[in-house]
Amino acid sequence: MLITLNKSADPKEVQRRLYRLGLWSQALAPRTEGGAASLLVAPHSATIDPERIARVQGVAEVSVPKSPHPRVDELARRGHAINDQVSIGGDLPPVLMAGPCSVESEETAFESARIAKRAGAQIMRGGAFKPRTSPYSFQGAGREALGWLRAAADAEGLGVVTEVMSEHEVEAVGEVADLMQIGSRNMQNYALLRAVGQLHKPVLLKRGMAATIDEWLQAGEHCMAAGASVVIFCERGIHSFDPSTRNLLDLSAVALLRHAYGLPVVADPSHATGRKDLVVPLAHAALAAGAHGLLVEAHPDPAEALSDGPQALDPDQLIALGQKAFPS
Q: Which is nearer to a second copy, 102 or 117 (CB)?
A: 102
Interface with a second copy, residue 206, by CB under 8 A: no
Phi, psi for residue 175 in degrees, rounded to 5: -70, -25
Backbone phi and psi for residue 97, each to the nearest 5 degrees, phi listed first: -120, 120
Residue 290: half-sphere exposure toward Cβ, Cα within 13 Å: 21
Asked whether 300 and 103 are in contact (CB, 8 A), the reply is no
Q: 178 to 197, contacts with a second copy by CB under 8 A?
A: 185-192
Q: Does residue 43 belong to the site contacting a second copy (CB under 8 A)?
A: yes
Residue 284 sits in the site that holds a second copy (CB under 8 A): yes
Alpha-carbon torsion 221, 288, 292, 21, what sign? negative
Residue 327 lies near a second copy (rule: CB under 8 A): no
**Per-position x/- string for 115-144, each x denoting binding to a second copy as judged by CB under 8 A, each - no binding:** ----------------xxxxxx--------
> What is each CA distance from 221 to 76, 98, 316, in whole angstroms?
13, 27, 39
Least distance in Å: CB of 175 to a second copy? 18
- Supply the minimum distance, in Å, between the C-beta of residue 115 and a second copy: 16
Q: Is 221 in the site for a second copy (CB under 8 A)?
A: yes
Q: Which residues contact 141 (CB under 8 A, 6 or more apart)?
A: 102, 103, 104, 105, 128, 148
Among the listed residues 62, 96, 103, 121, the single contact to a second copy using CB under 8 A:
62
Identify residues 159-178 at the interface with a second copy (CB under 8 A). Answer: 165-169
Q: Answer whether 269's CB lies under 8 Å from 301's CB.
A: no
Taking the C-alpha atoms of residue 204 and residue 247, their distance in angstroms, rounded to an integer, is 19
**What is the full DSSP assignment across 231-252?**
EEEEE--B--S-TTSSSB--HH
**Among 95, 196, 213, 263, which residue interacts with a second copy (rule: CB under 8 A)?**
213
Residue 76 is a binding residue for a second copy (CB under 8 A): no
- Contact of 274 with 238, CB cutoff 8 Å: no
> Which of the residues 224 through 283 are near a second copy (CB under 8 A)?
225-226, 237-246, 248-253, 255-256, 258-260, 272-278, 281-282
Nearer to a second copy, 77 or 259 (CB): 259
- Minimum distance, C-beta of residue 68 to a second copy, in the bound complex (Å): 5
What is the x/- site pattern for a second copy, positions 86-115, by CB under 8 A? ------------------------------
Stretch that binds a second copy, among 32-40, 77-85, 106-114, 172-180 (CB under 8 A): 32-40
